[in-house]
Amino acid sequence: MFEYFPDNYTWTLATMICLNSGGRIAEVDEACRPLKEIAKRGEAPEALEQWYQSWKRVAERVEQLAVHDEESGHPLSAGRKYLRASLYYIAAERLMTNLDSRKVQVYKQVLSAFKKGVQLRREPVEFVEVPFQGSSLPSLFFPGIGDGRRPCMVHFGGFDSLKEILYTRIGHEFRLRGISLLIVDHPGVGEALRLRNLYSAPNTEVPAAACVDYLETHPDVDPDRIGIMALSLGGYYAPRAAAFEKRFKCCVAWGAMWDFNKMGRKRSIVEEDEYASVPSFQATWVFGKNTPEEALEVMKELTLEEVIDKVTCPLLVVHGENDRQVPLWQAEKTIEAAVNSPGRKLKVFTLAEGGAEHCGTDNSAMQVDYMADWVAEILGGDPKGV
């Protein structure tokens, strides 16, 4: 993986996620170049503050260019810039503590820029609310190309993902194969966490079932061809949901997570971790707890050990050979134990072919293409394109 910050995996990962989701190298370099020295300070407050300020400056500059294009009557050009601005706002807020009121303010800028971007580009995205326990789960419905009722994948996030960045990273490849996507900010991620105070819990089948209930009423969705996928910590979320929600016809773990408590290294929720995806304060927020110790109690339940044999639909696990966050054995164990999944499959991306880092962050197109092809074959889309 391109190591923009050789001494700071967390910052390198955030940078590569941005680049793999549509960020432009010159703009990304504009944000990152001033940070090279302070990146060595890790989670020091002054380092995280400089990260925030640098990315926010670039986001605001690109957004102003978008405003100029829009006012000049060039909506398509403006839309592209708004979408890039949303990516840079995402990067800016990614490493901020939730105790900083600016985090929500910047996230609202993410939402605004993203919505302007897709609307100006006339992309067929529906902004939907999935009813859930007296509240709702903010989601994006992106229809697959084709006529009639089409297959659909429910896409959950992980420990640090947002629906807006998942859309730019994967949405079009599924659409081209005739597969619709419902990209969900479920409890513990994105808008559900930031603006609804909905926290993650081990029983992911509950929000997943709410998504299926919603899709069964959608006129473009074939209710008999709905699957679920999720990335990173979603390697637990998706198989857990598929194990107990039998309406799912397939499941994709975009990066395995057999057991969060058997990572073979210290976890960043207790102390800084060399290969953490986000700073150590993330876990207490995601799980709605006051202390790391309370969050750890929840995380003890994040295991597939007595769950995975209940998955009875086709299961694909995609993993990188050089995943530095989740060891490869967790992917192998997930598939080995999924004894009741017909046609279960493990795809390991090697360093030689690319996509070998966590969730393919070195070259996510490799993993995205593979997953989209597999889903199209299983659910009856068209791997050749529609």
Residue 359, SS3 per DSSP: helix
What are the tens digits of pLDDT across the range 53-97?
999 999 999 999 999 999 999 999 999 999 999 999 999 999 998
Say what the pLDDT of residue 293 is: 85
Q: How far apart are the first and last CA of the chain?
A: 33
> 46-50 long-range contacts, Cβ below 8 Å, gap at least 24?
48/95, 48/96, 48/97, 48/279
Say what the pLDDT of residue 153 is: 98
Within 10 angstroms of residue 46's Cβ, the number of other Cβ atoms is 9
Rounded to 10 degrees, the C-alpha dihedral 37/97/111/376 comes to 80
Sheet holding 251-254, edge to edge: 126-132, 135-142, 180-184, 150-156, 221-231, 251-254, 315-320, 345-349
pLDDT beneath 50: ranges in the chain: 264-271
Say what the pLDDT of residue 22 is: 94
What are the tens digits of pLDDT across the range 343-372?
899 999 999 999 999 999 999 999 999 999
* pLDDT above 70 as % of the chain: 95
Dist. CA 162–CA 189, nearest whole Å: 6
What are the tens digits of pLDDT across the range 367-378?
999 999 999 999
Dist. CA 294–CA 248, nearest whole Å: 32
Say what the pLDDT of residue 260 is: 87
Phi and psi, residue 137, nearest 5°:
-105, 110
Domains and CATH numbers, the chain: 9-120 (1.20.1440.110), 126-379 (3.40.50.1820)
Say what the pLDDT of residue 265 is: 44
Say what the pLDDT of residue 266 is: 46
Say what the pLDDT of residue 242 is: 98
